[in-house]
Structure 1
């Protein structure tokens, strides 16, 4: 039950509510329980503390969809609408400041958003339309990247241990983004490593971010002078008035989004297949449906960046004041009993009404690309491996602490490489084993293919565990 004051009057200033932090040990281990507790106490909209900043967290499916669709243009993404920030009440040292101040299309509305999204739509089109030669070449490249990474995993023997997050699911989408951006191979690997450092927010993240911005700006200038068969060149052709700064900010989103989101979707799908007998049984019949189910049940993008109402607006049991930060919880919406409770948790054929790809003006434009990378990555892994199992129970897997993403820190598995694996493009699947002891097997020699000796490959080789 809610406190009497909130029941009697729906208007309660956000700054006057004493709220618990959203993040913490409970959230890291099982965010669903946190969402349930908040929904029970507050209803579909809950006040929470996000790293020291009070925000409204929207948990109701209907309410999240309402804000995403933004009928009437009430909900704004630009930071100028954030009242507390305009009044100087948000510290520049707030951990999420670099993300919120990136000034790309994710934080624009109206005509500017439509202009930038037109550039994205045109830029991605050749790579998402399966009838286009660029999309066909990209698919072959994804298969080759997957094969290269799997071969690297198996160096030294046909069975062993691997972290499929760090050694496969994360680098593969980043390799795809480098190809889309048109980086030269070795330079692209260096950029990939810096993206990784920034995403992990380690001690060298600041220097990596500076190098990354310089590399992307240089790339934007190069594509303006010498267009190629790549994403930035197609974006410029569609919107010739894009400035170097605008193009740089936009394409800088690609490695982070495709790296973190798609890499997490790959990991979450692998966990589902290895831990769910129903998923294993239906994998060869329709991998896209398995991925769709995972996107619903365990969306990599758990919560979205803020929206700010232009006027006071009723949402859930509260009146949200103009300029208050509102964070939409995709994971919370999917767990809403009015939505998720109506679904059969065991059914593999799941609804397409989920919000993992967003909705409305800011819906994901790269959905087809992310799905294709994920389906190839998952299918190729089970084609090349005759057996693969989780090295620990699913409920003990380590998750990264993040207010936005639901991603694994690592995905430890034990594997056995198939002696005769299917060629790229084959639709067969190997046997996926449950998390149970795996009997000793004879080592099967790996197919050796020497990848470029770049920083990326040196790093990945360094992650291999001796057998």
Structure 2
């Protein structure tokens, strides 16, 4: 089983050595999962980019997941949204959503994001050294930003982040993975119903006012759930893992503390190097084809390793190291029509949060030895359970 789930494993911040070996020896290879489920793993940058960018040859539709798992995944667990849909449905939904995620439209959130970051820094200071950076900083910031975006009622906000807390740990037991989708969709459906009756100033209210019945309540709930998936756990993991990475690079910390221009390239390199979303949404071949010297049959699942692609040595020997000066290309947000619609929002949060953290706590350090940090196991989104820091 370890071999099959190798693309979901890490050694600290780095992909396991087995992934690099696969990339070198067989960049397209077979994975055999339990219960008779199999897939093709793609690890090279060029091949991954080609697969995830080709909607004519590959499908994202959730019905393929149901078929490939032999009913272990059910139609009722379809999360909807953009990640598990194909054109023309995907095109219609993304066309409605994209205007809300332009830099110009998102700029209205900048002051509130800065307030949320400062609020959590105040919590850290009040708690005192040492403190868990995940609990006080990394998790609350994206959760509260999404609450602002979706106009989640204040009484619900304390419980809101729990909806995504275990979505990506596939061996977390009952209530995780596919089962957790059901609970999240139920809450999002209630939120949509409330917004349909009284549209607010958030994203859902805007979509309802501008598109009315063109987007169904089910579709709106799926879009909201997709934002929770794509915008909470991923950004929280980036904030925590990025802090670890920066604490190993004091020269970068000094640059982002003292030079406002340094944060943008640093964030891009962190996105590439860390690649917290380890696998892209599964693709399914629409017809028989050849890929990397292998014959792929129509209907077969193709898994693209984003963490492998973003460390591909074919792009340069320096891909295994963290260096903001290189500004290497990356697929951390995906590519093509399925590229993460919230990419700019994530960048905004990271660019505000990191400099603020190290300006408030210039002597920040790990509160435990680095080899005692507990990382997630077998997780689609890599992260840490907790992160004690001190100053």
TM-score tier by shorter-chain length is: 0.7 to 0.9
Aligned counterparts, 1:65-214, within 5 A:
65-70=49-54, 73-81=56-64, 85-86=66-67, 90-93=69-72, 101-125=78-102, 128-129=103-104, 135-136=107-108, 138-155=109-126, 157=128, 160-196=129-165, 198=167, 201=172, 203=174, 212-214=184-186
Q: Where does residue 269 of structure 1 map in the other structure? A: 242
Q: Return the offset for 1:306.
A: 0.8
Higher-helix-fraction structure: 2
CA contact (8 A) 1:335 1:341 kept: no
CA contact (8 A) 2:134 2:236 kept: yes
Q: Which of the residues 302, 309, 312 maps onto 1:333?
A: 309
CA contact (8 A) 2:237 2:383 kept: yes
Alignment partners' CA distance in 2, 1:375 and 1:222:
33
The runs of 5 or more residues in structure 1 that have no matched partner are 1-17, 416-467
Alignment partners' CA distance in 2, 1:314 and 1:25:
25
Give RMSD over aligned pairs. Answer: 2.9
Residue 36 of structure 1 pairs with residue 12 of structure 2: no
Alignment partners' CA distance in 2, 1:314 and 1:183:
47
- The number of residue pairs the alignment matches comes to 382
Alignment partners' CA distance in 2, 1:384 and 1:244:
43
**SS state at 1:110 partner:** coil
**SS state at 1:47 partner:** strand
Alignment partners' CA distance in 2, 1:37 and 1:105:
33
- CA deviation map 1:354-410 (0-9, x unaligned): 111111110112111101111211122112213110124445532212342221222
The runs of 5 or more residues in structure 2 that have no matched partner are none
Q: Return the offset for 1:193.
A: 3.2
Q: Check 1:220–1:384 CA distance in 2 against 1; reply closer, same or farther (3 A cut).
A: same
Residue 349 of structure 1 pairs with residue 325 of structure 2: yes
Q: Check 1:334–1:396 CA distance in 2 against 1; reply closer, same or farther (3 A cut).
A: farther
Q: Return the offset for 1:260.
A: 1.0
Residue 366 of structure 1 pairs with residue 335 of structure 2: no
Residue 287 of structure 1 pairs with residue 263 of structure 2: yes
Alignment partners' CA distance in 2, 1:211 and 1:80:
20
- CA deviation map 1:256-291 (0-9, x unaligned): 221111111112221121111332242233112111
Q: Return the offset for 1:148.
A: 2.1
Q: Where does residue 324 of structure 1 map in the other structure? A: 300
Structure 2 length as normaliser, TM-score? 0.88
Residue 383 of structure 1 pairs with residue 356 of structure 2: no
Alignment partners' CA distance in 2, 1:256 and 1:186:
21
Alignment partners' CA distance in 2, 1:192 and 1:344:
33
Q: Where does residue 188 of structure 2 map in the other structure? A: 216
Q: Where does residue 307 of structure 1 map in the other structure? A: 283
- CA deviation map 1:11-31 (0-9, x unaligned): xxxxxxx99322499645553
